[in-house]
Amino acid sequence: MTTPKLTPEAMRAARGILGWTQADVVTAAQVSPNTVAKIEAGGVVRGETSAKIVTAFAAHGVEILNGDAPGARMRKAGA
C-alpha cells in the first residue's frame, strides 16, 4: 500500500480533527519541529518522514485522503 501524499492542507486538517498543535505532531511522529513547519508551508520532505507523520495520525484514528477529496478524516469504524 502506498503512503498518501501529506499536503499542507491535509496536515492542518488532521491536526484540527485531533485538536493537535504542531508540537503534538512532533511528539507523536518523532520528527523535528522544522519538519512539521516545512510541510505546512508547502515544502518537501523525505518520503519516510512523511510516512512517520501519516502513521502517527493513523494511530490516533485519522486517515490522510488524496484523490477527489484531499484532506483528512476520522477512520471509519472497522476500517
pLDDT exceeds cutoff 70 at 76: no
pLDDT exceeds cutoff 90 at 4: no
38-72 confidence digits (pLDDT tens): 999 999 999 999 999 999 999 999 999 876 666 78
DSSP track, 2-54: PPPP--HHHHHHHHHHHT--HHHHHHHHT--HHHHHHHHTT----HHHHHHHH
- Domain annotation for the chain: domains and CATH numbers: 8-71 (1.10.260.40)
Q: Which of 47, 58, 48 is nearest to 25 (CA)?
A: 58
14-44 confidence digits (pLDDT tens): 999 999 999 999 999 999 999 999 999 999 9
pTM for this predicted structure: 0.86
What single-letter amino acid sits at 12?
Answer: R
What single-letter amino acid sits at 6?
Answer: L
